[in-house]
């Protein structure tokens, strides 16, 4: 498991699955030319799931978001 914590505002529970949709961005105020395209989480989950893993998002009690990336311990060739 890989854990990534940030100090941002977190993500409301009812919108966590939305961030995995292509071109979806939580922050509508961001400039499209400088703020990305909304593909990062889509690509990350696709790659992780292709290996048999998964990604989970949870808000941290002290604030911010925790991303947990679960990867299998076996080889894809086994």
The tally of domains found in the chain comes to 1
Domain, as residue range, for 15: 2-70
31, pLDDT greater than 70: no
Whole-structure pTM value:
0.77
| Residue 77 falls inside a structural domain | no
Q: Which two tokens stand for residue 12?
A: 């409301």
49, pLDDT greater than 80: yes
Q: CATH number of the domain that 7 lies in? A: 3.30.565.10
What strands lie across the sheet with 2-5, from one edge to the other? 2-5, 65-70, 54-59
Q: What is the pLDDT of residue 54?
A: 96
5, pLDDT greater than 70: yes
56, pLDDT greater than 90: yes
4, pLDDT greater than 60: yes
27, pLDDT greater than 80: no
Core vs surface per residue 28-59: b (16+ CB within 10 A) or e: eeeeeeeeeebeebbeebeebeeeebebebeb
């Amino acid at each position: 498991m890989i854990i990534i914590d940030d100090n941002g505002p977190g993500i409301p529970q009812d919108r966590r699955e939305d961030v995995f949709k292509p071109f979806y961005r939580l922050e509508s105020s961001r400039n499209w030319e400088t703020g990305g395209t909304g593909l990062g989480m889509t690509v990350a989950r696709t790659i992780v799931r292709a290996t048999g893993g998964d990604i989970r998002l949870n808000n941290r009690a002290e604030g911010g978001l925790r991303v947990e990336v679960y990867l299998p311990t076996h080889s894809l060739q086994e």
